[in-house]
Amino acid sequence: MLRLRSSVAHHRAEEFGALLREHEGVRRVVQQVDEGREAEAYVFVADVEPSCADRLVEQIEGLGIAVDDYVLTKVEVVAPQHRHRFGEGGVDGFSWVEVLGAAKANSRPLARYLALINVAGVIAACGVITSSSILIVGAMAVSPDLLPICATSVGLVRGERRLARRAFETLSLGLGMVVVTAMVVGAFLSLTGFLPDGFEVEQSSLSTLAQTDYSTVMVALAAGVAGMLSFETRASAAVGVAISVTTIPASAYLGVALGAGGIDHALGALVVLVINVTLLIVGGVLTLLVQRSLPNRSGAPL
């Protein structure tokens, strides 16, 4: 469920109120005087079904309401129970305005993103060197690369080239930092003598990270679908591991190969990484295209 809150000037209040009350999927409209503004204005609060949000936002913009005068937020519905049991009212509906907003918010290389991706690089590098699957899984859990991957897919489907380019640049920067971080870790351990005796990256039990087969394609496409669905439902933390299984391990293996000897095997990891990233984005794009082709609860295509 989404919640709309808007402050509208007095002369636009009647028109705006009529729009909300007549719009399908908008319920529980409340109107009251906005005492926080010098000029006379009214505050409107209403519950909006996700499947109707895109059309509502378009109509609000058509009225000339400034973007600073309204806000649409997500509300967790806990009652009544029959809405969850039978899926009534579009509680789990799909709205482009919500997905697009999340994509724009996660398309930039924020400090938290860069910090987490570096931490993931260190953990994954240690996992490759010690052949520890546990550390690799830990690195995948930490990595936030799901967010720019999904933002890239959203930008491509929506035709917003700037968004897609910015998100892909953020993704490339993050994975590049994983490679560099893993390379630095590998080189440092090699120079200080902390690498295991006779360490060769190709002899690691994780050497399959540099190999491509049919499972590479299947896993990456499936992860792209899962990642996009989780991005829409705000369950990205739980599904992030499924995405990172195709990116972080290969990036770390590439970095260790470059930093600790084994450059000949770096090309295989690079190929795996490029294939995986491409298929992840393709999986996300296909998921959105299928959803867009399906009718929403009001009977109109998204």
The pLDDT value recorded for residue 230 is 85
Query: Can you spell out the DSSP letters for 62-92?
Result: HTT--GGGEEEEE------HHHHHH-GGGTT
User: What's the CATH number where 274 sits?
Assistant: 1.20.1080
Domain match, 240 and 275 both? yes
Number of domains in the chain: 2
Domain match, 221 and 134 both? yes
Domain match, 139 and 111 both? yes
What six digits make up the tokens of 235? Answer: 């369950």
The neighbouring-strand residues paired with 74 are 2
Domain for residue 116, yes or no? yes
Distance CA 74, CA 23 (A): 19
What six digits make up the tokens of 143? Answer: 């990595």
Is the separation of the CB atoms in 128 and 159 below 8 Å? no
Q: Which domain holds residue 43?
A: 2-93
The pLDDT value recorded for residue 91 is 43
Averages of pLDDT over runs of 10 residues in the chain (302 residues) are 92 93 93 81 93 91 90 82 48 72 91 95 93 90 92 95 97 96 93 83 76 87 90 66 79 90 80 94 95 61 44
Residues with Cβ within 8 Å of 137's Cβ and at least 6 positions away in sequence, in order, are 241
Query: By 3-state DSSP, what share of the chain in percent is helix, strand and coil, each rounded to 5?
Result: 65, 10, 25
Please identify, among 93, 117, 148, the residue that sits at the C-terminal boundary of a domain. Answer: 93
Residues with Cβ within 8 Å of 24's Cβ and at least 6 positions away in sequence, in order, are 52, 298
Distance CA 164, CA 124 (A): 27
Bond from prior residue into 80 cis (ω within 30 degrees of 0): yes
CA angle 100, 176, 260 (to 5 degrees): 155
Distance CA 56, CA 68 (A): 16
Domain match, 210 and 269 both? yes
Domain for residue 199, yes or no? yes
State the first-to-last Cα distance of the chain, in angstroms, to the nearest integer: 17
Domain match, 132 and 177 both? yes
What six digits make up the tokens of 169? Answer: 């640049």
Please identify, among 50, 71, 93, the residue that sits at the C-terminal boundary of a domain. Answer: 93
